[in-house]
Structures are given as structure tokens and as C-alpha cells.
Structure 1
Amino acid sequence: MTVFSDHSIELSHLPFHYREAGDPDAPPVVLLHGLMYDARDWDEIAGFLAEDYRVLALTQRGHGESAWPGAYSFELGCGDLEAFTDSLSLERFTLIGHSMGARVGCVFAEKWPERIERMIWEDTAPVDVDFPEGSEAVPGAAPFDFSAATSLVHQIHHPDPSWWNDLRKITAPTLIIGGGSTSYTPQERLAEAARLLPDGRLATIEGAGHLVHRTRPEEYKELLRKFLKADPS
């Protein structure tokens, strides 16, 4: 049974929550949750990864036990990730993000590509997405600042063109996991993003929808296992 520990950390003078599991001397993996969730959303996947990695799941600003400062953007999330990994002396790490978390990871990897060992985006790319009403209203959702959702959804509908244009700057092997035809994310844009990435690939779990790691955890774990163990050459 995986043992998780909860921690508080100050980043840019704001309190943040994160969960940790695995050997502290193992290669680090950072997990970033989607909108309206928190670090606990990753517990099943984190438990799987903790067999081989030091797993660090950060609760992002405006969610759960982390700060609700009223200011939200993907750029601020990127700054939080930089501060978090700097505080833990993680010079290079694997990054796994779902939805909002993957977009934060994209911005980070474009700015500091040398710090990313490998990256997984779950059912997202830096493009406009038409959210269906109530799409995230499922068990496991965490308390969150509604203004965070408002601000971030506005950015999703009006993405910075550089997020897409700079995909070629991301040098790390990157796996995009799509949820197939039942997801509201345009799957053809995931495929296009994978082609633009220097070392990108797309794997689709048909019928999984947007919450792939929740609806199809065993298939998701198998994709992670193969990707993270693959020879980078």
C-alpha cells in the first residue's frame, strides 16, 4: 500500500499544498491536476508511479488547500511550478499534467525545455476548447475559487498564439493521451500538436472521455509504463 505524505510549502509568499509518495532518492515525477481538482485526484496514478519514482502532486493555486489569491493565469501557474521545483531542488524532472495542468506544463516546457526529462499531457493541447456545461462535475472535485475557473477558461478560449507556435521548443519526449470521441477536446488538434512537437506522439484510449486517468486507469497506467521506460534514443 502506497504511503502518501501531505506538505505545505510557501511559493512566492503564498501557501501551497502538495502530496508526496515514493523513494525520495528516486527520479522525480511532478503531477499537475485539472481544473476544479487538487493533488488527491492523482492518488491512484501516484501510487502506481511511486513504485519507481519520487512522486510530487502539487495542488495548484485557487484549488483545495493551496492559496486562493484571486489572480489566475497559466503564466502564473507556470511561475508556481518553477518556484515549486526550485524549492525542492528539482533541476530536471518528468511532468504529467491533466487538462489545466498539462497547459501549465506546456508553458513551462516551452520556457525551460532543458528542465523536462519527459512529459505527458492528458487530453489537452494549447487550443480553444468548447466546454460542455457540467463537464467537470464528477466525484472527486475539490473546493476551488470560482474566479480561477472564470479566468482560466477565458484564457483557454483565447489562447496565447505563442503556446501553439512554440511547441517546437519542447525537446523532451512528450506523450499526449487522448480520450477519443467521447471527449470534448478536439482529438484532431491533439494529433496535430503531437506532429509539431520534436519528439511527440499521441495515444488514444477510445471512449475514455476527458478524465482519462479516472475512467480508464489501468490502460492509462500501461501507457505510462511503456512511455516512461522507453529508451529515449
Structure 2
Amino acid sequence: MAETRTVPAPGGLQFHCRIWGPDDGVPVLLLHGVTGSGAAWERVADALGPRWRIYAPDMRGHGASSRPGDYSFEAMRDDVLALMDALGVPEAVLVGHSMGGIAAYLLAAARPERVSGLVLVETPPPVPLGRPAPVRPEGELDYDWELRPQIIAQLNAPSEAWWKGLSAITAQTLVVSGGDQSFLPGERVLEMTAEIPWGLLTEIPVGHDVVAAAPERLAAAIGDLF
């Protein structure tokens, strides 16, 4: 069962974080996708087993974490670094699904010495994706609705620096594709993988939500590489 902790960060932010595993385990941060939370990783964490010290935060605007109104990927990148500092984690394997994967590869490019391994699960490549404008669902949400349009805007017009930064990543990197059922452009995912010096592409053909659909297969792929 996960320990839960509220982790303070600069700017008065607070992050709700689930933690599994022994203190001396290999540190790994699991970063969820848009509208999700750290709870999405429970089955992956269970499957990874006790050799890992696992941290699964609710990203800004999600779950029980702060909702500051700024939901850029650069801000999320900085959040991950601040969390690592607050948790006393000098370096870690970063595993990011979709939105979380973008934050992960931006950090791996900017601060390669803090990232010992990188897993990008159904992570959008830094190319314009042409995603439609989101429509707000009815009722209460477990996330700040304001993040959705901001995220979509950046997915549709990513900074050119994101692509250029891929070549600065020094960590062994596993790119996990959901196969033909995914909405991500397969050719561009392959190009992204090739741009990362130690990039390796694998396929778990269950569509975009690999974390929910194939947690044991994903955990096995992570364990095999790291």
C-alpha cells in the first residue's frame, strides 16, 4: 500500500505524492497523463516490485495538488525537478505517460545529470498535433479545467526548442508506443526516438492508455531495461 505525502515546492505550491518501496530502492518518478493522478500508477507500481523506490505525484492542476492556473509543460518540468529536490532524490528514472512524458523529456534535456533513465509512454512527439479544442464535461472534475486548453495549445504549437532538446538527452530512453490503436503519428514517434541518442522504441499495442490497459507489460519493459 502506498504512503501518501504532501510535498511543498517553491512558489507556495504543494504536491500530493504516493510513495511505494524501500528507502534504498532505485528511485523512479511516475508522471501521469492529462486529467489523471498518481493513483493511475498503482498497478504498475505493484508490478515493478520492491527493488524500486517509487514516487507518483499528482501533477499541478490534478488530484490533490495545487491548481496555480499556469499549466505549461515548462512549468511541469520545473515541478518535477522541485519535487526531486524536496524528496532528496539526486537522480531518478523518469517514466511519463502522455502529458507526463513531455515534462519528463523536457527535464531530461535540460538537466541530464538528474535523469538516470527515461521511459516515454505514448508521449506526443514535439510536432504540431492538430488536436481539436476541448469541450468541458458537465459536473465536477478531479482536475482544473483550465489546464486542458493550455495543454492542447502547446501540443498543437510546441516550441522548436523541444525537438532540438531531444539530442541533449543522455539517459537510456525507452519509447513505448500503443501501436495502431493510438492517435499519435507513428512515423513521428519513430523520428523522435531516433533523435534521442540512446533511444529505443517498443510497442505495447493497446492504444493510448497503456498504463491502464497493460500495467504488467509496461512494468516488465521498464524492469528489463533498468
Q: Give TM-score scaled by structure 2 length.
A: 0.92
Paired residue type of 1:180 = G
Instruction: Tell me the equivalent position of 1:143.
Output: 142
Contact 1:117–1:173, Cα closer than 8 Å, also in 2: yes
Instruction: Tell me the equivalent position of 1:180.
Output: 179
Paired residue type of 2:186 = Q
Instruction: Tell me the equivalent position of 2:129.
Output: 129
Once the two structures are overlaid, the 10-residue window that deviates more, 108-117 or 211-220, is 211-220
Say whether residues 1:99 and 2:98 are aligned partners: yes
Instruction: Tell me the equivalent position of 1:204.
Output: 203
Say whether residues 1:75 and 2:74 are aligned partners: yes
Once the two structures are overlaid, the 10-residue window that deviates more, 171-180 or 40-49, is 40-49
Q: Report deviation, 1:132.
A: 6.9
Q: C-alpha offsets along residues 181-224 of structure 1, whole Å, 9 cap, x if unaligned?
A: 11001111111111111100100122x11001211223222212
Paired residue type of 1:34 = G
SS in 2 for 1:146: coil
Contact 1:63–1:144, Cα closer than 8 Å, also in 2: yes
Q: Report deviation, 1:130.
A: 4.2
Alignment of 1:47-86 (within 5 A): 47-86=46-85
Instruction: Tell me the equivalent position of 2:8.
Output: 10
SS in 2 for 1:29: strand
CA RMSD of aligned residues (A): 1.6
**Residues 133/226 of structure 1: CA separation in 2 closer, same or farther (3 Å cut):** farther
SS in 2 for 1:8: strand
Name the % identity.
Answer: 33
Cα distance in 2 between the residues matched to 1:42 and 1:162: 29
**Residues 61/118 of structure 1: CA separation in 2 closer, same or farther (3 Å cut):** same
Cα distance in 2 between the residues matched to 1:39 and 1:127: 27
Instruction: Tell me the equivalent position of 2:191.
Output: 192
Q: Report deviation, 1:227.
A: 1.3
Alignment of 1:22-61 (within 5 A): 22-61=21-60
Q: Report deviation, 1:177.
A: 0.2
Q: Report deviation, 1:32.
A: 0.4
Please list every run of 5 or more consecutive structure 2 residues that lacks an aligned counterpart in the other structure. Answer: none
Q: Report deviation, 1:21.
A: 0.3
Contact 1:5–1:19, Cα closer than 8 Å, also in 2: yes
**Residues 9/34 of structure 1: CA separation in 2 closer, same or farther (3 Å cut):** same
Paired residue type of 2:126 = P
Paired residue type of 2:50 = E
Contact 2:32–2:97, Cα closer than 8 Å, also in 1: yes
Please list every run of 5 or more consecutive structure 1 residues that lacks an aligned counterpart in the other structure. Answer: 229-233
Matched residue pairs, number?
Answer: 219
Q: Report deviation, 1:129.
A: 2.6
Cα distance in 1 between the residues matched to 2:55 and 2:129: 28
Cα distance in 1 between the residues matched to 2:66 and 2:164: 31
Once the two structures are overlaid, the 10-residue window that deviates more, 213-222 or 171-180, is 213-222
Cα distance in 2 between the residues matched to 1:48 and 1:215: 13
Q: C-alpha offsets along residues 141-189 of structure 1, whole Å, 9 cap, x if unaligned?
A: x701111111111111110111111111000000000001110011111
Paired residue type of 2:211 = H
Q: Give TM-score scaled by structure 1 length.
A: 0.90
Contact 1:129–1:184, Cα closer than 8 Å, also in 2: no
